[in-house]
Structure formats: C-alpha cells, structure tokens
Amino acid sequence: MKNGGSDPKIIHRAGEYHSPSPVISWLFGKPLPTADAAHQAVGKLVGLAVFASDALSSTAYATQEILIILAVAGLGAFGYIIPISIAIVVLLAIVTISYEQTIHAYPSGGGAYIVARDNLGTLSAQIAGAALLTDYILTVAVSVSAGVAQVISAFPNISPYRVGLGVGAVILIMVINLRGVRESGAILSIPTYFFLGMIFLTVIVGFYKLTSGSLGSVENPPQLDLVVFHPITWFLLLRAFSGGTAALTGVEAISNGVPAFKEPKSRNAGITLIWMAVILGIIFLSISFLSVQVGAIPSETETVISQLVRTVFSGSNALYLAVISATTLILFMAANTSFADFPRLSALLAIDRFLPRQFTFRGSRLVFSWGIVFLAFVASALIVIFKASVTGLIPLYAIGVFLSFTLSQTGMGIRWYKCGRLKPDEELIEKGSILHFDTKWRIKMLVNLFGACATAVVTLIFAITKFTEGAWLILILTPSLVALFYAIHRHYIELAGKLSLNHIEAKPRLSKQRVIIMISGVHQGTLAALNFARSLSKEITAVHIATDLEQTEKITQKWERWVHDIPLVIIDSPYRQLLHPLVTYIENAALESKPGEAITVVVPEFIPQRWWHNFLHMQTATWLRQALKHIDGVIVIDVPYQLD
Amino acid sequence: MKNGGSDPKIIHRAGEYHSPSPVISWLFGKPLPTADAAHQAVGKLVGLAVFASDALSSTAYATQEILIILAVAGLGAFGYIIPISIAIVVLLAIVTISYEQTIHAYPSGGGAYIVARDNLGTLSAQIAGAALLTDYILTVAVSVSAGVAQVISAFPNISPYRVGLGVGAVILIMVINLRGVRESGAILSIPTYFFLGMIFLTVIVGFYKLTSGSLGSVENPPQLDLVVFHPITWFLLLRAFSGGTAALTGVEAISNGVPAFKEPKSRNAGITLIWMAVILGIIFLSISFLSVQVGAIPSETETVISQLVRTVFSGSNALYLAVISATTLILFMAANTSFADFPRLSALLAIDRFLPRQFTFRGSRLVFSWGIVFLAFVASALIVIFKASVTGLIPLYAIGVFLSFTLSQTGMGIRWYKCGRLKPDEELIEKGSILHFDTKWRIKMLVNLFGACATAVVTLIFAITKFTEGAWLILILTPSLVALFYAIHRHYIELAGKLSLNHIEAKPRLSKQRVIIMISGVHQGTLAALNFARSLSKEITAVHIATDLEQTEKITQKWERWVHDIPLVIIDSPYRQLLHPLVTYIENAALESKPGEAITVVVPEFIPQRWWHNFLHMQTATWLRQALKHIDGVIVIDVPYQLD
C-alpha cells in the first residue's frame, strides 16, 4: 500500500459479504454472487406461469368490462358480447402470430422497446418505453384490484378493507420478487396451474349443464344501477370492444422475457406464447358465452366470475371457493409478471441512459431492486387513488399496450423489408442484432404490417371511445414521460462530455492551500480541528459569526489565551443569521484566490454517542456543506470530534 | 487576513442581513437587530390583552364543563353549579393573592419554573417545567377547539370542517407570533376589549331581564343524550368542580410574563393580575348563574354560551353574532398567550440545558421561533387526535396547572421563611435573586403556604376524579418528560466536561497525513480530486470497489494510462455491496496508523447544475460520510466537481 514512486501498482483484494441484519437475510434470502446471474433461467412450464399469468388472468375482468359498457343500453344489449368477444379473439390471433415472429428474430429479448429502437429509431423507442412502463404499473394496480374484488365477492364483509388488502398484496409480491425470479417462479407456478385446472373444470361443467338444460341463472344477482338507458350505437359497441381489449394485455410479456428462458430460448418462448394464446382464447370466449347464458350482471359488489361460478356449481360451496381462490391467485401472479418485466425494461432504459442509472443496479439477490421498489410504490399509490376499482383503472390501461404493439409490429415490418433486400447468405449486423436473408420475408413482413395496422386501429378506437373516462391522462402522460427521458439523457451525455479525458486541459497544480476554519466556541474539539488545519497549510484564518455578544466576548478571551498562531475574524451578525455571513466571506475569499490556490473550509463537527443526541446540536456542518458545495474551487472538510 | 506569526489578531467585521425571500419578509415582517430586544415591552392595557386572555376566555367553557358532569345526575342537579362556581372563585382569590406576592418578589419573571428552581431545587423545577409546557400546549388545543365550537354553534352547517378550522386557526396564530410580541399585542388587544364589552353587555341585559321577569328560557335547546341517570354523590360534585377549575388556567401567565411589561414591571404586572382576577370572577359567576336560569343544556352541537346569549338577546340576531365573534376571538387570543409563554419557558429550560439549545435562538423578528413552531405542531396534532372536542381535552388540562401552582406556592413559602431569618437590612443573594428582610414575612409565608395546600388538594381531587377520563395520561407523561429533560441535561454536561480546556492533554501534533481516495471511474473529476490529494500528502492510496467486471477493466486501463504516481487498490465485491468493503478497508487503515498520523478520505463528488439531477447520481459521498464519521481519527473531504 506504500506509494511505489513512479511505477503505479494495481492491487487486487477480495471482499466479503456483510449482512445488514438477520431479518433482511431471512426476508430476501442469502445473497447471490454476480457470477450466478446466468443460472436464474426458467423452462416452458415455469415460464408460462411467470410470463403468461398477466394475459390469462385478464379473463377474470375482460368479460365484465364489456358487460359494464353494454349495460347502459339495458340487459338486452348483453347478446352483443359474443360478436365482440370473437373480434377480440381474432385480434389476439393476429397479435400472437406477429409476436411469434418477433421472438425468433430477437432471441435476446424482443420487447417493443428493443424492436422500436433497432428498427424505428430513438424517439419511437422512448414512446414504446414510456407506454410499456406505464402499462406495467397499471397491470399491477388493475390485477391486484381485480384480485381483491374476487375476495370481496366471496366475503362481502371485508369490503371496507378493499384498499388496504390491495396495498398489502402489492407489498407481499414486492418482497417475493426481491428474493429473485427463479425461486419465485417455482413457488408461483402452482397457482397458475391451479387456476387453469379450476377454470377449465368450471367451463366444462358449465357447458355440460347448459347442454343438459340444468344450468339455470344467477340467484340473487347484484342490482344493476342505471340512471338513463342509452340506445345501442356503433360508438357504444366500440367502447365495449375497447374495454374487452384488456384481455390482450400481457401478451407481449413473453417476448420481453425471452432471455429468462432456458436454451433454446426462442423456441421455448415461442411455444409458450402459442400455448398461452390458445388457452387464453378458449377461456375468454367460454366465460363470455356462459356469463350471458346465466344472466350475470356486471357490478362493483360481486364480480361476473363469482356469479358465473356459483351458478355453475349451484351455490357458494367448496368448489366455488376453490375457483375464486385460484382466480385471485392468478391475478396476483399477473401483478407478479410486471415485477419481472418492469425492472428489466427500466434497466434497459437506464443502460441507454434514459432513466437514472440506479435502475441498472442488481441487489444482493441479483434482481433490479430499484425498479421493483419503484413499481410497488407507484402501483400502491394508484390503488389508493382509484380506491381499488378495476372499472376506474381500465380506461388508462390498454391504450399503452396497443401503442407499443403498433410500434413493435411496424419495426418488425421494416426489419423484414431490410432482410428481403439482402442477398442469400449475406448477413447485416445492425445495432447489435444480426439480419440475414429469409426466403419467407414477404409473408413475414405482411403479417407484421397487418398486425401493426390492426393494433393501430385499436389504439385509435380506444383513445376516442375512452377519452373522457381517463384515456386523456395517458395521452398527456406518455409525451411528458418521453420528454423526461430525453432530459435525463441530455444530462448524462453532457456529463460524459465534461468528464471525458479526450480534451484534457493543463490545469495548474495546486501549489498551496488557504484554510478557513469555522469557530463556534473554543474547546477541545476546536483545538483538534486547529491541529488538523495546521497540518494542511500555514495560511489559516479562523472565522466566528457573532450572534450573541456574551458568547463572542468569551470566545475572544479564550482565543487569546489558548491560540497563539492563528488570526480570528469575528463577523457581526446583528440579525442572528449564521450561514449567510460565512458563505459571503468564503465567496469573497474564493474570488480573491490566485490560480493554483485551493480554499479549504474546515468545519469541526461533534459526533455524539447516540443518534438522538444529534437533535441537541445545530448540525451547522451539514448546512454549511450544502451551502458551499456550489462555489467553484472551495473544498469542505469535516473534522469529526467523537464524544464517546 | 494573513497569518501574523505568533501574535494573534482579532479582526471585527460588520455583517449584513440577507433576506431568504420576499414572501418570507412580507409574512413575518422586516428583521429586527439584536439591540432592539428591550424595546419589545408592553403596558398594562396591552399586557392584559396578551397575558390575561387565557384566563378570561376560560369562562367560555368552564361553566359548560361543570354542567356536562352534573348532567349525568339529571337536570335537577344543575342547581349545584352555584356553590361549585363560588368554590372556584374562592380558589381564584387564593391563587391570585399568592401570585401577586410572587410577581413582586420576582420582577424578572416568577413563573413556577423559576420559583421552584430557586427555592425547591432542580427536580421540582423540572416537574413544574414539564407540567407547564404540557399545559401551554393544551391551552392552545382547548382554546382553539372551544373557539371553533362557538363558530359551529352559530353556523351548524360547517360542523364537518371542525378539525380543519382548528388547525387553520393554530397556523394563523403561529404566523402572527413569528412576527413578534409587541406588534401582535397591539393588533390583538382589540378583540380582548371587544369581548369584555360584549360579555358585560350580555350579563347586564341578562340580569335586567331576569329582575324584570322577561328572561325566559332557551328555545329549541340541544338534546341531552343520557344513557343512565346517576345519583348525586360527593365524587360527582368533586368531578364537576374539577371540570370547572379549567377557569383558573392561565392565571399564572402574567407572573411568567413580568419581563415583557414596561417599567415598573412588577407594579404593572401585579395590577394587571388583580384586574384580571376580578373581571374573571365576575364573568364566570354571572355566566354560571344565568346559564342555569335560562335552562341551558351542555352539548357538543351548541355551546352553553351560545344558548345563553341567544336567550338574552331574544334570537340569533346581530348582537348574538357579535358576542359569539367576540368569544371566538378571545379564545384564539388565549391560544396566543401560550404562544408568548411556551417559547419563553422552553428557552429558559434550554438555557439551563434541559432542552435542546435550539430553543434559545431568536429568529429574525427576535422571537423564539423554534418554540413557536414546535407548539403549533403539537397543538395541531392534539386537535386532530381529539377531533377538536373540548370535553375530550379537558381531563388532560388543569392537572398540570395546579401541580405547578402547588410547587410555585411552596417555593414562595420557603422563600419567605428564609427572608424572615435574615436580620433587618441584611441581603442574601441566592441563585441570582436577592432576598431581604421583610417585616410582613410571617403573613406572606402563610398566604403562600395556604395557597400551596389549597392547590395541592385540587391537584389531588383532579387526578382522582378525572383519572379514567385522561388524567392518567398526564400522570405518565409528566415523569417521562422530566426523565427526558434529565437525559438531555446529562448529555450537555458530559459534553461540556469533554470539551473543557481545564484538563488538556498534550496530544501529539499531526506529523503527517495518509490520504485514501475513493475512485468510481477515471475522468476529469477524478483527476481534479487526485490533484487536491497530492497537495495534502505524498502518501496516497486510491481505492476502487469492483462491483462490475467490465467497469473495473476500463478503470484499470485508464489508470495505467493517466495516473503515474499513485497506487490503485481494487477490492472485489462479489455481492455488489459498495459501502461495506470500503469502510472495512478504512477501518483497518485507521487501526494500523501511527500516533500523529491522520487518515484523510477524499471523496470526489459531482455537483450538478439542477437540483433534480441529484437523483441521477448515487450520492455515494453522502453515504460514505455518514458511515465514516464514527471512526476515530478519520477525516472525510468532499472534493466537489461543479458541472456548470
């Protein structure tokens, strides 16, 4: 460790883990070393549980959100749910085929952000990023609220605790995710398959009873509170369709999560995507069809799912409770999907320097802790603001998803066009991804561009039909976020320029230091600080701000007795201000300083034994440091005086 | 400013006032220099307004608090209010005579704290201090809640905003007090005299109508909601009496405030005290008598005062509104009394080093800003917790006042005894106050000791009869506060001992510095910090914590290229912890250091142009400073690198 003269040495040392507390270790698990990062990958079955739950769970509210809109035209309008649901399933098929192509083109993860960045440019990428991040937050808020609504359908007594239950669930999911994705995947794949089992049982029993004529209709359905009956218009049907598109949210999750799959990543992820779309389509259509058959009524007090299930199983029995539990769990799992994707995407934006770089740091369990905590915080705030109402949150929701679908599919279309213009066996490496000729480029391009058109139309329909209900907020928020991303980016780029060693200037070496020491009394701490100051420089000035005449008199006397080599400047402060006169004095000293001369301000600081003793001191050092750090060429030194 | 060798110079400089912002100057007024302190004194008329409003205003709720207790024995028990009120007025006379003697013995302010401290010792003084500070806070909460209750009696519609109105009033009074006492006195003496005028008008008209037989009784009185009728017992009567003793709260305010009066201070203050007691007695008795005559019912929806006034003036007319306004204003004025006394007393405790010394600092308007803001905060919290209910707050209230009365009068008794044992013309200077022989010492001693006994009995009665309603809280809180005061005192005394220059040790002079510089990258900021480090010492070690292998590789390469004279230690941190490995390294270096060798840690810190840019950086410097300041002999230096 001694200075080796002109030969610089680089010395390596091993560090050890320091546990902050046993409680934290117990809660979040043992720390994982950086070298373990690659091991945290998932297979198809676990991958379906982790990444598909968002999409699958939307069947728990999509039907209800269509019915709520149709209800304003009376119960007779409920029949329109079948054509609307079929339209949504067709849209699902288009989006799935598009994304299946993306997954194979982007084995390292082909979320809308990356696809837009590589093929459309930075602005499109930032728009996609803003839209997706907003939607991940909303996924948590909507899914958890929908989960709580299921619980309240079964136990109406706990309805007053709706918001508290929602926030509690978000915190629980946050803690699980801070432990890391593989472990949480293994734990959480059980509820996904439990849900699939229970919901298929419900659907099969439902269809059996329907064909055998024993299905009947909902007993004691909730009240439909309608003020005015509206006629059925195209606008109303499109609004109902927009509400139902919530069923498609989450379809993009797998394409973002490709790197989390086991090898062969693309194949595994692609197969998982197709499984998911088929299952989703069947469940959604079945629930929509059966709900109308049993005469379910959309309501904030009992979910449509709850009404359907208790009708199918003839009462609120154990089977009913099992389905409701499974639905609640899959909805919480959906929130969990966002806890996997939001931190991943925000880390991506942070690496590209459009978000604070804190988002790139992995915690002791190798997860992006900052993103996880941030997501939990904002989603909890939304649950509180919207009082955990799914119908309140939905108008903010799907618009961002469809916007990012559009950007992503457009980007893919352009990509295929570029591939088509290559010669066979030619490869083009562009922005990190490899393009090579593909004989089917024309059909693949058309598939993606058709997907882009379809989702663009849906984005537009959603924005218009849901505008007054809340979509306007997203239409303001998205450009604001993009502006913020660019502001952050500008800061980092400017910083890099200023710190760069490419244009180094020959600054004068620091030839000497001028020390200014702040004195509030003459005691052991002061003498220790003076002692330190003497080791820095021979040019020392002590400064005392006089706010109390008696005190100043005492200091002057003691100074004359104890200090023989340093001048003391006393600055009168008739209005008892402490910081300002001192800052002015130091600013003037900085102005007068010569090149190569550093001004060093020494501030003695008491370090008390117990934390609460800090309240008994003035913390002048802290305030002074804040005030001085903007003055160029001034350095602040705390000289701590430990009191224990 | 140059170092003058062995001859220390003391240089005086004048400072100027720096306004933080025009808004603050407008809100709190122009700053007052320290030399103006003595000018902030008040005459008898303004003094009555400032210091007597607490006592006078308690007539607005004392009668009601007696009736609320009597009500549990049915309307027939209301007749007992007359003997109870007379007992309270007798108690008032005893306390007044006792305090009149105190004011003359303590021209520099004879609050219970000072009297107990000088004559009974520190423990009694701290008990009195805790009791009084608690009561000042409760005065604000009770008076403002009672004021809001008057407003709600006149305008029942605004009842839902009870708590908001109370907190708003506290904030308003706080701002007025931050401007300073004289100015606020002049403004606020108008409402006191307005109240006296209106309340005497009410009483005179009331008695006139009573004698002429035209008084009648309250129309549409509020409902008396009683569950069980209790028999009249001695316990019940004593509880009612305890509720009524709230009328005496505030009598001590003048004796605390003697120094705020114009010369001759004692005479002016004494006369003001007697005026106040006479006015208070008359108003209280009259209100109690007339309230029963008109059949007023104690209630949370309409105050007794409101019922009395609308009966006397035959309806809710302009006269009624004038009296209610005047009562509301005097109650807010009462809160204002505490804003004069609480900061004064807490400054006194802080000077004696039983409270943080921040309480001794005068703001730009010469008031004790810390005490004022603290009082406003705690009183607002109480209003929120007790939902602005006077009846809820009363059981916490008068017990502390009577406890401090007892301590103060006992102290005075002992003082007269000491005076009596002096020879004529002999003077005894004890703890700053002068004792001299007084021919009337025996009678004065008896008066004070009688006062002490009477108030001790009341304290006991209050504690017993109000125990379950809330007095228990004060019986726990007071000793806890005393314990806290002693803990603070111990800290300051230990600190003074450690800092004292009386037992100075010959510490070795700092012979050399060893510099450790923390490196997170190699750029312009790093080179500037290295430049500074070179000016401190020749023994420099750079340390980098490796959390990211790529990053570390880059740093090593750049280090070899740009830095030729300083060794770089790289500490691997496989679990991506940043602070802990560094702190361990520095702790070990500190252990190895020789006597006279200082370890200086240099931390380069970016200072961005805009405040929000701070969120884009890791603030490592701040965290490191916190972590290192407890290590003995280690000094942290921030080397700021301004980015603008």
Q: Which of A308-322, A389-403, A566-580 has the lowest average pLDDT?
A: A566-580
Dist CA A591 CA A595 (whole Å): 11
Q: What is the pLDDT of residue B40?
A: 61
Tokens 């194949």 sit at which residue?
A: A267
User: Among A2, A10, A617, A618, which would you mutate to test the B interface (most chain B Cβ atoms within 10 Å of its Cβ)?
Assistant: A10
**Given CA atoms B479, B484, B487, B493 in this order, what sign does their dihedral have?**
negative
Chain B hits for A523, CB-CB cut-off 8 Å, are 499-501
Residues in chain A with CB shorter than 8 Å from the CB of B592 are none
Contact A520, A568 (CB under 8 A): no
Closest CB to B1 among A16, A495, A569: A569
CB A468 within 8 A of CB A459: no
Q: How far is A145 from chain B (nearest CA, A)?
A: 31
Q: Which residues on chain B are in Cβ contact (under 8 Å) with A364?
A: 575-577
C-alpha to C-alpha distance for A463 and A242, rounded to whole angstroms? 9
Q: State the CB neighbour count (10 A cutoff) for residue B497.
A: 11
| Contact: B625, A642; criterion CB under 8 Å | no
Closest chain A residue to the Cα of B555, Cα to Cα: A10
Distance CA B332, CA B354 (A): 30
Domain boundaries along the sequence of chain B? 39-219+228-494, 512-642
Q: Which of A12, A564, A629 sits opposite B6 (nearest CB)?
A: A564
Pick B491's closest partner by Cβ from A527, A616, A638.
A616
Question: What is the C-alpha separation between A125 and A435, in angstroms, rounded?
Answer: 19
Confidence of residue B435 (pLDDT cuts 50, 70, 90): confident
H or E element at residue A601 = strand A597-607
Determine whether the interchain pair A608/B363 forms a contact, defined as Cβ–Cβ distance below 8 Å: no
Q: How far is A433 from chain B (nearest CA, A)?
A: 21
Tens-place pLDDT, residues A524-535: 888 888 888 888
If you average pLDDT over residues B176-193, what whole number do you get? 71
Q: How far apart are the first and last CA of chain A?
A: 30
The confidence score (pLDDT) of residue B632 equals 75
Residue in B513, B575, B494 with CA at minimum distance from that of residue A24 = B575
Of A13, A498, A547, the CB nearest to B524: A498
Q: Which residue has the higher pLDDT, B240 or A6?
A: B240
Contact A64, A304 (CB under 8 A): yes
Closest listed residue to residue B76, CA positions, set B231, B219, B206:
B231
Q: What is the mean pLDDT of residues B627-636?
A: 78
Rounded to a whole number of angstroms, the CA Rg of chain A reads: 32
Interstrand relation of B634-642 and A634-642 (parallel, antiparallel or unpaired): antiparallel
Residue of A nearest to B525 (CA): A499
**Residue of B5, B539, B559 lying closest to A3 (CB–CB):** B539
Q: Provide the CATH number for the domain formed by A56-220+232-494 in this structure.
A: 1.20.1740.10
Contact yes or no for B528 and A521 at CB 8 A: no
For residue B256, the model assigns a pLDDT of: 76
Q: Cα-flanking dihedrals φ and ψ of residue B10, to 5°? A: -115, 120
Using an 8 Å CB-CB cutoff, list chain B residues near A532.
510, 598, 635
Helix (H, G, I), strand (E, B) or coil at A433: strand
User: What global pTM score does this model have?
Assistant: 0.68
pLDDT surpasses 50 at A2: no
Q: Chain B: nearest CA to A432, how far in angstroms?
A: 18
Q: Give the pairing of strands A427-430 and A433-436.
A: antiparallel
Distance CA A356, CA B403 (A): 58
Could you tell me if A404 and A135 are in contact, meaning their C-beta atoms sit under 8 angstroms apart?
yes
Question: Are the beta carbons of B494 and A560 separated by less than 8 Å?
Answer: no
In this complex, the residue of B364, B536, B558 whose CB is nearest that of residue A536 is B536
Query: How far B550 CA sits from the closest chain A CA (Å)?
Result: 12
Crossing angle for the helix pair B234-244 and B81-105, to the nearest 10 degrees: 50
A312 has a pLDDT exceeding 90: yes
Please give the pLDDT value at position B17: 62
Measure the CA–CA gap between A476 and A633, rounded to whole angstroms: 43
Segment A140-187, tens digit of pLDDT: 999 999 999 999 999 988 888 999 999 999 999 898 888 765 545 666
Q: Whole-number mean pLDDT of chain A?
A: 84
In the DSSP assignment, the letter for residue A228 is: S
Partner residue opposite A499 with nearest CB, options B491, B523, B634: B523
Q: Which of A2, A7, A9, A13 to mutate to test the interface with B (most CBs of B within 10 A)?
A: A13
- Encoded tokens for B530: 């290295």
Residues shown for chain A = 644
The verdict on a CB contact (< 8 Å) between A362 and B576 is yes
- Do the two domains A56-220+232-494 and A512-642 of this chain adopt the same fold? no
With 0-12 / 13-18 / 19 or more C-beta atoms within 10 angstroms meaning exposed / middle / buried, residue B485 is buried
pLDDT band at B219; cut points 50, 70, 90:
confident
What are the tens digits of pLDDT across the range B73-87? 888 888 899 999 999
Which residues does chain A have within 8 Å of residue B638's beta carbon, measured at their own beta carbons? 625, 629, 635-636
What is the pLDDT confidence band of residue B5, given thresholds at 50, 70 and 90? Answer: very low
Contact predicate B147/B331, CB 8 Å = yes
Contact assessment for residue B133 and residue B154, using Cβ atoms and an 8 Å cutoff: no
SS3 A634: strand
Residues from chain A contacting residue B637 (CB–CB below 8 Å) = 635-637
Per CB-CB distance under 8 Å, the chain A contacts of B6 are 564-565
What's the CATH code, domain A512-642?
3.40.50.620
Residue B261 per-residue DSSP state? B
Closest CA to B379 of B179, B184, B166: B166
pLDDT interval class at A27 (50, 70, 90): low
Q: What is the DSSP string of B232-260?
A: P-HHHHHHHHHHHGGGGTTTTHHHHTGGG
Write down the pLDDT at residue B24. 66
Give the highest mean pLDDT range of A413-427, A450-464, B255-269.
A450-464
Tokens of B15: 């400072």
In the predicted structure, residue A504 carries a pLDDT above the cut 50: yes
If pLDDT is split at 50, 70 and 90, which confidence band does A5 have?
Answer: very low
Report whether A291 contacts A299 (CB < 8 A).
no
Asked if A565 lies within 8 A of B6 by C-beta distance, the reply is: yes
pLDDT in tens, B7-22: 457 777 776 666 666 6
Closest chain B residue to the Cα of A579, Cα to Cα = B18
User: Angle CA(A291)–CA(A292)–CA(A295) in degrees, nearest 5?
Assistant: 90
Length of chain B: 644
Sole residue written with tokens 């009601």:
B64
Which range (A270-274, B225-229, B497-501) has the least confidence?
Answer: B225-229
Q: Any idea what the Cα angle at residue B415 is, between residues B411 and B416, rounded to 5°?
A: 120
**Cβ(B85)–Cβ(B287) under 8 Å?**
no
Class of residue A5 by CB neighbours under 10 A (exposed 0-12, middle 13-18, buried 19+): exposed
**pLDDT surpasses 70 at A19:** no
CATH class of B39-219+228-494: mainly alpha
**Which of B12, B33, B364 minimises the CB distance to A570?**
B12
Two structure tokens written together for B133: 């500070």
Average pLDDT on B491-513 reads 73
- Higher model confidence: residue A312 or residue B495? A312
Cross-strand pairs, B261: B42
